[in-house]
Amino acid sequence: MIITIDGPTASGKSTVGRLLAKELKYYYLYTGLLYRALAHVLMKDHGYTLATIADPEMQLVDQILDTKKFVYFYDPSDRERIAYDGVDITDQLKGDTIGHGASLVSTNQQVRNRLDKLQRAIANDHDVVIDGRDAGSVVFPHAEHKFFLTASEDERAYRWYKQQLDRGVQTTISDAREFIHSRDTRDSSREIAPLTIPIGAQTIDATHLNVVQVLEHLKKSLF
């Protein structure tokens, strides 16, 4: 079975996706981590910058995404992780620069085609919960269950602000609002796989809901 959870930045889709997968004993696929890992390798090992990463050389991308070297794995007791060339690089995939790089490289159709194929290959081997921005609309349009999780822009800005502080990153609410608005605009207006509510998806507005309440909404819709 395939369950997709799409939504904008800081909507809580990754948090609730992990919890749902753990309760159902499903495999959790965090699609954003794949893009972050690709961006990290391109920037760290091959000299790409935020100015050039949207147009990577495809032969190089294929080499990086070789499944003998680029490995996604999930353990419910230890979250999701990515190993590259035999080294666990998960802890290097945090931070706004990597996030920005991932967002930029995701605008490349050829890159998306390759990572969509990788996601489908992973899903072929498991019952999965998948979160992303086009999981239910593009990658798995025939998923058995689709959700679109959202919240007000102000609420998501506050959540993102808190996340940064928890990570030791100093920022302001004003910066958070600007970041969320900018990311929403980029994700929803891009030509390739824009953020949209998938056909047949159930929309959940989590503005006034905590994680447990959102999880209960999802479970009631499934069973």
Q: How far apart are the first and last CA of the chain?
A: 13
What six digits make up the tokens of 198? Answer: 């998938």
pLDDT band, residue 1 (cuts 50/70/90)? very high
Instruction: Please tell me the CATH code under which domain 2-206 is placed.
Output: 3.40.50.300
What six digits make up the tokens of 86? Answer: 């035999």
In this prediction, residue 169 carries a pLDDT of: 86
Q: Does position 12 have pLDDT exceeding 90, yes or no?
A: yes
Nearest to 129 by CA among 8, 217, 19: 19
What six digits make up the tokens of 3? Answer: 């369950």
What six digits make up the tokens of 157? Answer: 């800005």
pLDDT band, residue 96 (cuts 50/70/90)? confident
To which residue do tokens 């940064």 refer? 164
Mean pLDDT lowest among 23-37, 120-134, 183-197, 198-212: 183-197
pLDDT tens-digit map of 143-202: 999 999 999 999 999 999 998 898 888 899 999 999 999 889 888 888 888 889 999 999
pLDDT tens-digit map of 30-89: 999 999 999 999 999 999 999 999 999 999 999 999 999 999 999 888 889 999 999 999
Q: Does position 15 have pLDDT exceeding 90, yes or no?
A: yes
Q: Please report which residue ranges of the chain form alpha helices under DSSP H.
A: 13-24, 31-46, 58-64, 96-105, 109-124, 153-166, 173-189, 211-222
User: Which string of b and e fits 172-208 if b means at least 16 CB within 10 Å?
Assistant: eeeebbebbeebbebbeeeeebebbbbeebeebebee
In this prediction, residue 192 carries a pLDDT of: 83
In this prediction, residue 168 carries a pLDDT of: 86
Return the half-sphere exposure (C-beta side, CA atoms, 13 A cut-off) of residue 115.
Answer: 28
> Is residue 223 classed exposed, middle or buried when 0-12, 13-18 and 19+ CB atoms within 10 A define those classes?
exposed
Look up residue 61 and give its amino acid.
V
CB 2 within 8 A of CB 122: no
CB 135 within 8 A of CB 5: yes
- The gap from C-alpha 51 to its chain's centroid, in whole angstroms, comes to 22
To which residue do tokens 């190993």 refer? 83
Query: Can you tell me the distance from the alpha carbon of 32 to that of 171, in angstroms, rounded to the nearest whole number?
Result: 23
186 vs 14, residue with greater confidence:
14
CB 37 within 8 A of CB 89: yes
